[in-house]
Amino acid sequence: MSETVHHQKQRGLGHVFAAASYSLGGARRLWGETAFRHELLVYAILNIAYLAIGASFFIFFAGLILFLVLVAMEALNTAVEEIVDRISPEFSVVARHAKDLGSFAVFCLLLANGALFFYALYLAFLAPLPV
């Protein structure tokens, strides 16, 4: 069993810098996930497509919000997977369920991002023109 190391709790500006450091560490860890890099690539492609079809500011803003929620969910899913792998290296039905649920949460957000894209296409090509 590893030793537990207690850190001195930061206060004030030190707390802000410590939190930023932890967040950057999480971002570096997430960059190691192939799925995250694929999601980032698709987000860039979607933005190019939105530019090409003349999407509104609302579409770009909604896309950004959905992407940030997707990134947060991907981070949580990765955290769940790492914790499950650490505490249950052998096969476990409960561990499998935890991983499947995290994956499903990410999938739901991928569907939401896809739905926004198809809505933008609808607005660009199929919506009735204002009279």
- Is 85 annotated to bind ligand? no
- Is 9 annotated to bind ligand? no
Tokens of 128: 């009735």
CB 119 within 8 A of CB 87: no
- Is 67 annotated to bind ligand? no
Annotation says 90 is catalytic: no
Q: What are phi and psi of 96, to 5 degrees?
A: -60, -45
- Is 33 annotated to bind ligand? yes
- Is 6 annotated to bind ligand? no
Half-sphere exposure of 51 (CA within 13 A, CB side): 6
- Is 3 annotated to bind ligand? no
- Is 90 annotated to bind ligand? no
Q: Which of 3, 74, 82, 90 is catalytic?
A: 74
- Is 11 annotated to bind ligand? no
Annotated binding site: 22, 33, 35-39, 74, 81, 99-100, 103
Binding residue numbers for ATP: 22, 33, 81, 99-100
Q: Which residues make up each annotated binding site for a divalent metal cation?
A: 33, 81
> From the annotation, which residues make up the binding site for substrate?
35-39, 74, 103
The residues annotated with a catalytic role in the active site are 74
